[in-house]
Amino acid sequence: MDPSSSGIQEPFDLIRLSLSERVFVKLRGDREMTGILHVRALKHMMGHMNLILSDVEETIMIVNEGEQATVSVAKRKMGMLFVRGDGVILVSPPSRTQ
Amino acid sequence: MSFFGFEERTLEREKNRRVEQDEDLAVYTWGEESYDGLGDALQEEHDELNDETFGDVGKVGKDFDFASANPAVQPISKSFFLKNLLAAQAISLESIWDDRSPFSMRLNGSGRSSLQPRGDSPAQHRQQSGIRTLQEIESEMQALLRERQQQLLQQKQREEEEFLRQEEEREFQRQRLLYQQEQAQIQRQQQLHAHQHRTPPPRMLPVSQSPRFMEHQQRQILLLQQQQEQQQLLRLQQLQEQLRVEELERQLRSQHISTIPPDPDMEALQHQQLQHQLRHRSLPLEDGLPYLPHKLAQAEFLRDMQGLPQADQEALRVEAMRKILEAEKMEEKRRRKAAKIAHMSRYNDLMTQSDKDFITRIQVSQLVSQDPYADDFYAQVYGAIVRSRMGLGADDERVLKFGASGGVALGAPSKGGNRRPNAMQRMQQQVERIVSNARKREEEKGLHSLHSLQGALGKTSGRSYKAAPRQLLQVDSGAAPSASPTLSHAQPHAHISKSDSISNSHSDAAATHAARLGRETLGNGSSEDLVRMEPLTQREILVTLENMYDLVLNVEQLRRDPASSRGRRRVFWSNGESNEFDRLVDQMWSHLKVMLPLATSTPHPFISLLSAAKGKKILPRVTRHFDQQRMNTLLTLLIACFSQLDTQAFLSSVLQSILPIIVKGNLRLVCGLVGLLMHGQDIVAIAKSRPGLALLTLFLTRVEVMRQGEVDEIPTQEDFAQWQLMFDHLFQLLTPEFPLLFPSTRMAAHLPRDQPHINIPGIDSLDQPVWQFLAALAVQASSTQHQILVSSLREKVLDNVLSAKKGWVVDEEERTTKLANVDLFLHALGLDSSQITM
């Protein structure tokens, strides 16, 4: 009964389906963020997957160097964010808790 | 690496060479252990013939002494020597040995006579009188010293100025010579040129006017300016140093005056020593100082002599210094500005107008695209919205079109500012010219019938300057017609189209169920051969919504399309366009899944679509295109599934799209909808939610309006009877819950018992919709229902009036809100809060 689960045909379909939805974005430099994906036209995103996110919460992993390297997590919230595409590693719909 | 232009290698070589030379030299180590004893080998005898060899001539005459023989020459040379001697006293190394500082002079008085070659100073007279204080001696000596130095300085300055002037003169001459030479050369070249080409090309400029020559000239000027600036700077620094030194001196002196020394002799000695040191330190500076110091020294001298009040002198001096410094600064500033302008104008006129045009053409050509409207979609739509908001004609698109070949999108109109529109116009003209030129060229080409050969050698990428980044993801843009105006990948998503077909089949099924839905909504439907489905998954919802967006954008594009610019109303459209429009709207309708039977799933697919934020957002855009009948169906479904809706965004988006239908609906529709709300749904829960309450209020007011007879279609008596039944039923259901409809009452239940009057900020504005609803209810209620209302709400009313009148409120605003709320309800009953007495 589930016709559409059969096919994400091309990578951008996933992105397209996630428009106006909350997505999880992993970035270079051990940074991660969740936010609501905006911009419907993907045309200019082809080369780089630039994103515009709103209501963003960013998570930054900071490795404290020393004898025993510890990892601390910093979080910050932003209303609106433009994410340059060359730093994006993955974009995914977040796991739903409903 | 090289320092100061010296090549290190040269230095290295030099050093090496020297080392080699050192090794070549004979090394004498007399007296050391390794002494080879060569000295012992010397012959110490045979000296007796030395006189014979070198001669012993007896007395030597004085006939070589020309000076004494010719006394006329003598005075000149003497004065010359004297001059040299004076100069040497001030600055030469000798002066260090021949210490004539006040200190040494005092210690060995012998120096004094040689120090005072120019006779009578007042101090000398006093010296003869024999009684003098230490201070007198000191000042006298200082004065003398200063005088001498001053004279020396003046002389030196004069010489230096002269030298500088000559130097400048020479430089100027040299420049002029150079320039003349260059001019001559240029003329020669020009003549040569003219000789060779009888008709020089029109753009050929004489070299002297060419930018490069100008540049050369300017660079020279710049160099000169820099030199001058450096000199200026140096002078300033020296001045500052001088000032500092003098300041120090003054401090010392004032200290000396103000404090009574325990041992005057020692103190004076120390002071003198210090001053002596200062003098020596400042001497080389004064040497290099061309202008001011002698004036300063003079001023100081004068002050010492005349004994003017120190403060006045000080003020004068500071003022003067400040002015000088200011002037210097201004000059500096001016110079810097001039230099900057010269620097900036270096490249003036490097490009000709045609060069500039060429660049512009390249830039503009990048803006041309095949589908300017879609490329500039957001700006265009935004611009349209802004224009319509401003009440301007909404139909003109800001796109330059060139036939079928494409166009340039001009973006949204800029707000205000006179420059931008001008630039826009200029660009527009430019583009038009470029396009027409290109077309002309094309025609010419056609004339030469080069078309047959075109592309014979393969295609060249004529737009190599379009430095687009390499595409990392190659998305297959198939040949399928673009479904979306905003999406570049024209392939309609396969999975989406697959789901299309499925949902289409569903809508087919839905069509067969349409009749049954009607029956169901009326409450007597049977659930025979119902196709039960699982609720839509998140992905299905998203896929459907994306599809909806594509359709909506297509429809909106169709309405905006210049081809159909005759108007926005469908009646004027030609048949084909109308068909296209209908087809798209039909697709939207089926995608909304409104026609699926109510019991298909819980929540209903349509409600599932509304659960997503973008689903709620798209609803008003979709419903705009639906006709009355479809909207009624949609509204029916919405009401029937009201409890399934998440109420978050209902008020903002969904209610907005159904409001016009309710406002226009007849009594029978309203009746049916209220019936739907009460049928199989928890009407009390609905009434306790904000959107539910809003909906009920909406229905009640609509009925009241119809009762007043302010509608086109007067309802029949039968309809009213039906409504009365419905109303009574609703009233009955809600009666026990009246007080609990208020958010404040519900919240108060959670508050501690001993503080019943605790204030929750903004609670009255939350209560307001409830009061409105109750007022709407009261308007239509019978007198018995009035009594029920009053008795159940009596406490609430009294509570509000009491807190308003007793002043249990935060501010005046809250008080008025409370009273207004109560009055809203009481007025409907024909009462007023002022009638209530406590």
In a domain, residue B818? The reply is: yes
Judged by average pLDDT, the poorest of B449-458, B498-507, B748-757, B763-772 is: B498-507
Shared domain check, B617 and B524: yes
Q: Given the DSSP bridges, would you call strands A31-38 and A51-64 parallel, antiparallel or unpaired?
A: antiparallel
CA distance B125 to B129: 7
pLDDT of B119: 45
Shared domain check, B301 and B363: no
Mean local confidence (pLDDT), B651-671? 77
Judged by average pLDDT, the poorest of B281-290, B330-339, B508-517 is: B508-517
pLDDT of A58: 92
Q: Per the structure block, which two tokens stand in for B711?
A: 């509608």
Shared domain check, B331 and B189: yes
Which residues in chain B have their CB less than 8 angstroms from residue A20's CB?
Answer: 612-614, 617
Q: What is the dihedral of CA B222, B224, B226, B229, to 10 degrees?
A: -130
- Residue A38 near residue A52 (C-beta atoms within 8 A): yes
Full residue range of the structural domain in which residue B63 is found: 11-41+58-132
In tens, the pLDDT along B420-460 reads: 566 767 777 777 777 787 778 777 766 665 555 666 666 65
pLDDT of A77: 93
Nearest chain A CA: its distance from B835 CA (Å): 51
- Residue B623 near residue B634 (C-beta atoms within 8 A): yes
Optimal mutation site among A15, A40, A84, interface B, most CBs of chain B within 10 A? A40
Instruction: Decide if B469 and A16 are in contact by the 8 Å CB cutoff.
Output: no
For residue B488, the chain A residue with the least C-alpha distance is A43
Q: Per the structure block, which two tokens stand in for A61?
A: 């992993």
Mean local confidence (pLDDT), B267-283? 56
Shared domain check, B536 and B626: yes
pLDDT of B777: 85
> Is it the case that residue B124 has pLDDT exceeding 60?
no
> How many structural domains comprise chain B?
5
| Angle of the B628-640 helix axis to the B494-521 helix axis, nearest 10 | 80
CA distance B492 to B83: 105
pLDDT of A72: 86
For residue A39, the chain B residue with the least C-alpha distance is B378
pLDDT of B463: 54
Shared domain check, B186 and B72: no
pTM: 0.46
Mean local confidence (pLDDT), B311-332? 93
In the structure, what pLDDT confidence band is assigned to residue B416 with cuts at 50, 70 and 90?
very low
Which range has highest mean pLDDT (B22-36, B475-489, B718-732, B794-808)?
A: B718-732
pLDDT of A24: 92
Shared domain check, B357 and B341: no
B396: Cβ contacts below 8 Å, ≥ 6 apart? B387
Which residues in chain A have their CB less than 8 angstroms from residue B601's CB?
Answer: none
Shared domain check, B357 and B300: no
pLDDT of B621: 85
- Residue B314 near residue B322 (C-beta atoms within 8 A): no
Task: Measure CA of the first residue to CA of the last residue in chain B; give whole Å.
Answer: 102
CA distance B719 to B665: 13
Instruction: Decide if A3 and B488 are in contact by the 8 Å CB cutoff.
Output: no
B189: Cβ contacts below 8 Å, ≥ 6 apart? B207
In a domain, residue B26? The reply is: yes
> Is it the case that residue B475 has pLDDT exceeding 80?
no
Radius of gyration of chain B from its Cα atoms, rounded to whole angstroms: 54
Q: Which of B487, B502, B540 sits opposite A42 (nearest CB)?
A: B487
Instruction: Decide if A47 and B470 are in contact by the 8 Å CB cutoff.
Output: yes
Which range has highest mean pLDDT (B361-375, B748-762, B812-826)?
A: B812-826
CA distance B549 to B555: 10
> Is it the case that residue B542 has pLDDT exceeding 70?
yes
Optimal mutation site among B381, B476, B493, interface A, most CBs of chain A within 10 A? B493
Shared domain check, B738 and B628: no
Higher-pLDDT residue of B69 and B829 is B829
In a domain, residue B127? The reply is: yes
Mean local confidence (pLDDT), B782-786? 84
- Residue B671 near residue B631 (C-beta atoms within 8 A): no
- The type of residue at B159 is E
pLDDT of B631: 84
Shared domain check, B758 and B635: no
B407 exposure class (CB count in 10 Å sphere: 0-12, 13-18, 19+): buried
Mark B580-602 as b/e (b = at least 16 C-beta within 10 Å): bbeebbebbbbbbbbbbbbbbbe
CA distance B767 to B615: 30
In a domain, residue B263? The reply is: yes
DSSP state of B644: G
What is the percentage of chain B residues whose pLDDT exceeds 70? Answer: 56
Q: Which of A4, A8, A19 sits opposite B540 (nearest CB)?
A: A4
CA distance B252 to B546: 89
Shared domain check, B388 and B282: no
Distances (CA, A) of B74 to B67, B68, B86, B118, B482: 7, 8, 19, 22, 114
Nearest chain B CA: its distance from A92 CA (Å): 13
What residue ranges of chain A have pLDDT lower than 70? Answer: 1-10, 40-48, 95-98
- The mean predicted confidence, pLDDT, of chain B is 70
Shared domain check, B651 and B539: yes
**3-state SS class at B47:** coil
pLDDT of B476: 56
CB-hemisphere CA count at 13 Å for B552?
Answer: 19
Q: Which of A2, A9, A41 sits opposite B493 (nearest CB)?
A: A9
Higher-pLDDT residue of B126 and B372 is B372
Mean local confidence (pLDDT), B565-573? 46
Q: Which residue shows structure tokens 């060249």?
A: B460
Size of interface A-B (CB pairs under 8 A): 84
Q: Which is it for the CA torsion A71, A74, A80, A84, positive or negative?
A: negative
> Is it the case that residue B640 has pLDDT exceeding 70?
yes
B540: Cβ contacts below 8 Å, ≥ 6 apart? A2, A4, B499
To which H or E segment does residue B194 belong?
helix B134-196
Shared domain check, B303 and B432: no
Q: Per the structure block, which two tokens stand in for B643?
A: 């409890």
Instruction: Decide if B489 and A20 are in contact by the 8 Å CB cutoff.
Output: no
Please give the full DSSP string across B458-495, using - where no structure is assigned. ----TTTT--PPPPSS-----SSPP--SS-S--S--HH
Per-window interface: A 41-70 vs B, CB < 8 A: 41-43, 46-48
ipTM, 2 dp: 0.74
In a domain, residue B837? The reply is: yes
Q: Which residue shows structure tokens 């020479």?
A: B170
DSSP state of B651: I
- Chain B contact residues (CB < 8 Å to A): 375, 377-378, 468-473, 475-476, 486-489, 491, 493-496, 498-499, 502, 533-534, 537-540, 542-543, 546, 549, 612-614, 617
Instruction: Decide if B498 and A6 are in contact by the 8 Å CB cutoff.
Output: yes
Which residues in chain B have their CB less than 8 angstroms from residue A17's CB?
Answer: 539, 542-543, 546
DSSP state of B534: P
Instruction: Decide if A5 and B377 are in contact by the 8 Å CB cutoff.
Output: no
> Is A89 touching B (CB cutoff 8 A)?
no
Q: Per the structure block, which two tokens stand in for B589?
A: 């309708």
> Is A94 touching B (CB cutoff 8 A)?
no
Which residues in chain A have their CB less than 8 angstroms from residue B498's CB?
Answer: 3-4, 6-7
Instruction: Decide if B471 and A1 are in contact by the 8 Å CB cutoff.
Output: no
- Residue A22 near residue A36 (C-beta atoms within 8 A): yes
In the structure, what pLDDT confidence band is assigned to residue B319 with cuts at 50, 70 and 90?
very high
Optimal mutation site among B380, B382, B539, B617, interface A, most CBs of chain A within 10 A? B539
In a domain, residue B152? The reply is: no
Which residues in chain A have their CB less than 8 angstroms from residue B540's CB?
Answer: 2, 4
> Is it the case that residue B461 has pLDDT exceeding 80?
no
In a domain, residue B491? The reply is: no
In the structure, what pLDDT confidence band is assigned to residue B554 with cuts at 50, 70 and 90?
confident
Q: Sketch out chain A's domains with CATH numbers.
A: 3-92 (2.30.30.100)
In tens, the pLDDT along B340-377 reads: 999 988 888 888 888 988 888 888 777 777 777 777 77
In a domain, residue B494? The reply is: no
Nearest chain A CA: its distance from B602 CA (Å): 15
CA distance B222 to B655: 74
- Residue B737 near residue B696 (C-beta atoms within 8 A): no
Instruction: Decide if B473 and A11 are in contact by the 8 Å CB cutoff.
Output: yes
Q: Angle B374-B380-B381 (CA atoms, 0-180°, nearest 5)?
A: 100
Q: Which residue shows structure tokens 């389906």?
A: A17
How many residues belong to chain B?
A: 838
* Number of helices (H), then strands (E), in chain A: 1, 5
Nearest chain A CA: its distance from B739 CA (Å): 34
pLDDT of B641: 81
Which residues in chain B have their CB less than 8 angstroms from residue A5's CB?
Answer: 537, 539
For residue B376, the chain A residue with the least C-alpha distance is A41
φ/ψ of residue A56, rounded to 5: -95, 140
B250: Cβ contacts below 8 Å, ≥ 6 apart? none
